[in-house]
Amino acid sequence: METNSSLPRLVPWASWDEWQTTMDALFSEDSCRVRLGLETVAAWRTRGGLPAAIEATADIIGCGL
């Protein structure tokens, strides 16, 4: 079976910049930035299609707050 990796994928984030900003926030030492990152991931959850790895990472980080 052939897969076509050139097809666009639907993801809950609007851009790679939003993705990078959110990941930087989640792994920040500033708890306010971490909360903002968690809020962004929560918004992504409502859009659907959130990869399990992102969901699990946010859940683990959220437990640490």
pLDDT at 3 over 70: no
DSSP state at residue 40: H
Cβ pair 40, 25 in contact under 8 A: yes
Q: Give the tens place of pLDDT for each residue, 22-57.
A: 999 999 999 999 999 999 999 999 999 999 999 999
**Contacts of 3 by beta carbon, 8 Å cutoff, 6+ apart:** none
Task: Report pTM.
Answer: 0.84
Q: What is the pLDDT of residue 7?
A: 78
**Contacts of 40 by beta carbon, 8 Å cutoff, 6+ apart:** 18, 22, 25
